[in-house]
Structure formats: structure tokens, C-alpha cells
Amino acid sequence: MNLKELAKHLNLSQTTVSRALNGYPEVNKATRLRVEVAAREFNYTPNARAKGLATGRSMSIGHVIPTSSKREMVNPVFGDFITGASEAYVQAGYDLVLTLVEDGDEERLYRNIRDKGNVDGIIVHSPQMDDSRIALLLDLGLPFVVHGRASDITANYSWVDMNNRGAFRRATGFLAELGHRRIALVNGLEHMDFAYRRRDGYLAALEAHGLKVDPALLRAGEMTEMLGHASAQEMLALPDPPTAFLSSSMMTAIGLRRAIQEAGLQMGRDVSVITHDDELAYLKNGQTVPIFTATRSSVRAAGRRAADMLLRLIADPGCGPLHSLLEAELILGESTGPVPVARPEKTYRQGQT
């Protein structure tokens, strides 16, 4: 059933029916009711393509996530992010279209996305420090919001980000105040902006506490369980091992914990761990009391906020670049404690090898 048929059935013009259904004022109350009833009865749903063509808007948002040959994993955070974003889209009647783009021919691809015209705006995922997409998008004039920021970009664009630097500065400071002087960082890939900022915060805190940086305690990679495990295993075998770890993801923290246990140490007593916790639905940090002390910030909330922001930008393009910085909470779990006074037993052995 399309508009024409519906109109004929009602003995009305398409115009009137269309107006009635779209809430325009110039239609008689009784008529509107009649139309609405009939529409429901016949399960009338306007054709989105035709509507889009007529209005010039597609009522959908593009989520563009980069995939590269070297890092072809879809960020596990993505599922939760879109769950949040979807809430906003559903309410506003928008659809979500997903585009995975190989990096390389961004120029052409993003231009195509705009010219194809099946999205009214896009959300940019996983920005790198110097992300060429931002200048490109500003140039294209397509409304967009970045999830994260690009440190090297000075242009003014809309973003939703977590305070990565602040969170890791605070977490590192917290460890330092517990007396830890050998604090390791197991980070995500540091050309990703969030990882860069986290390291920056970590370094700032070390400096503020008069601790010096030991490259042996810095690691970066895809944030897998194995990265955590391998990093901790190696670092704990150092002559002067770390007494605390900072981790960029729950997944990695789980790996850290395994290596710590395997070394015969107890997490929270012999070795402290703070991880960032994105509050992913499938990766909860404990049920009631958190297992890990963590900097916590909901990716889902970020998704919701980014979507809201983009919808606002679309509705009123003049409302200028918007920014939203989410603060992470530092929540106390059982994985941190004061630096042990005596070296834990296991360490002696290792120290003397």
C-alpha cells in the first residue's frame, strides 16, 4: 500500500494524506484522524527511498570504521558503542548504516559516501593522532562527529571523547601515592589517539611524582589477553620488576593477572593493577565489588552522546562544532594496594638468577 492508493481509498489527495501523517497543521482534525486510522489499518509505511528523494534527507547515519591490512580487527568496543548510539537513532527515526573502509583511498571513499547521499551525517571511529579524515570531512561539508580526537589536528571539529589523559594521570598518581615507583604501562597501539593520550597522562604523572621513565616498563600493542600476559611475564622477570601495572583494557588486564598468578604473586598484594574499563556488556569487571581497580567510562554512553550530538548538528548545522569530554571514574577494586615493603618472595629468586 502506497500513498497514492491510500489517498484514493480515502477519497483524498496525496497532499492531504501526506500532511496528515506528517503532522502538518493545515488539515482538519477529523480528516487527520480518518487518515491515521486508515494508515494503521493498512499498515501503511512510507517508502524511505522516495521520502528521502523528496526531502533530500536519508534519515540515516553512517558509522565508518577503518580496517587496515595490518590492524584488521574491528574494535571490540564497537558493539557497545552502537548499542548506545542506536538508542538515539531509534528515538529520532534514523537508521544506522555501517561502512568498513580499508584505509588507502579515503579521499574517494568519503567523497562517495557524501555524494551517494544515503547518510545525513557520519560518526568517525578510531581516530589516529594525525587523522587525515578529519580535514577531508570538514572539506566535504558532511556533518560528522568523531569518537575520540586527533591530537595533531588543530582544526575545530565535533567530537565525543573520554578524558584519557586525565584518567591515566590520575590512575598513575594513585599508584605513586601508594608508594609504587616501578609502574608499567601496557597500552594500546600508540598511533591510536586514545593510546597516545593515555601514555601522555602516565608520563605526566610519573614526572609529577619525580619518577623516571623506564622504557622497559612500556609496552604497546593490540589489546589482547596475550599482550597482557606476555608483557607481565617479561617485565616480572626483569632484575628490577614493576610493582604495579597500568592496562589499557580489561582484556589485557586479564592477561596481566594470569602472568602475575603464574609468577606466584598475588594481585593486589604483591603487584597492583589498574586497568581501563569500557564497561563492555560482555566483559564486566566483577558483579558487585570490582575485581580490578579501574578507570571506568562507559563506551555505550559515549555512543549515545555522540549520536545525540550528531543529530543535533544535522538538525541545526549552524550550532557549530560541539565537544563533549567524558570523565572517567577511578573505581577501587581489589587489584591495588600499597607497594610491598619487602620484595615478594618470588622476586628474590628471580632477582638472583
Partner DNA sequence: AGGGTAATTTAAAGCGCTTTGGAAGCCTGT
Partner DNA sequence: ACAGGCTTCCAAAGCGCTTTAAATTACCCT
Please report, as ranges, the residues that interact with its own copies according to CB under 8 A.
43-50, 52-53, 58, 60, 63, 67, 72-76, 78-80, 82-83, 86, 90, 95-100, 111-112, 115-118, 222-226, 251, 254, 257-258, 261-262, 280-284, 286-287
Indicate the residue among 78 and 245 with the shorter CB distance to its own copies.
78
Tell me whether residue 16 or residue 275 sits nearer to DNA (CB atom).
Answer: 16
Number of residues counted as binding DNA (CB under 7 A): 26
Give me the phi and psi of 329, to 5 degrees please: -85, 150
Partner from DNA, its own copies, none contacting 3, C-beta within 5 to 8 A by type: DNA
Mark residues 56-75: x for contact with DNA by CB under 7 A, - for none.
Answer: x-------------------
User: Cell triple for residue 17?
Assistant: 494524506
Q: Which of 9, 36, 46, 79 binds DNA (CB under 7 A)?
A: 46
Largest Cα–Cα distance of the chain, in whole Å?
A: 94
Cα dihedral across residues 273, 277, 281, 282: positive or negative: negative
Euclidean distance between CA atoms 177 and 272, whole angstroms: 12
- In whole angstroms, the minimum distance from the beta carbon of 337 to its own copies comes to 18
The DSSP result for 60-118, as a single string, is: EEEEEEEE-SSS-PPPTTHHHHHHHHHHHHHHHT-EEEEEEEESS-HHHHHHHHHHHT-
Q: How many CA atoms lie within 13 A of 59 on its CB side?
A: 15
String of contacts with DNA for each residue 4-33, x by CB under 7 A = x------xxxxxx-xx-xx---xxxx-x--
Give the CA radius of gyration of the chain. Answer: 26
Least separation in angstroms between residue 86's CB and DNA is 23
Question: Which residues contact residue 312 at a Cβ distance below 8 angstroms, ignoring those fewer than 6 apart?
Answer: 319, 322
In 3D space, the residue among 265, 290, 293, 224 whose CA is nearest the CA of residue 350 turns out to be 265
Query: In the set 33, 54, 73, 98, which binds DNA (CB under 7 A)?
Result: 54
- At its nearest, how many Å lie between DNA and the CB of residue 226? 49
If the CB atoms of residues 34 and 346 are measured against DNA, the closer one turns out to be: 34
Residue (115 or 177) nearer to DNA, CB: 115
Residue 309 CA to residue 315 CA, distance in Å, equals: 10
Q: Of the two residues 56 and 215, which places its CB atom closer to DNA in the complex?
A: 56
Shortest approach of DNA to residue 140 CB, angstroms? 17
The one segment of 2-10, 93-101, 150-158, 335-343 that binds DNA by CB under 7 A:
2-10
Closest distance to its own copies from the beta carbon of 70 (Å): 12
E strands present in the chain = 60-67, 95-102, 121-124, 144-147, 159-162, 183-187, 218-220, 244-247, 272-277, 293-296, 323-326, 329-331
Q: Pick between residue 48 and residue 155 the one whose CB is nearest to DNA.
A: 48
User: For 247, phi and psi rounded to 5 degrees?
Assistant: -125, 145
Helix (H) or strand (E) holding 311: helix 299-315
Q: Which residues bind DNA (CB under 7 A)?
A: 2-4, 11-16, 18-19, 21-22, 26-29, 31, 46-47, 50-51, 53-56
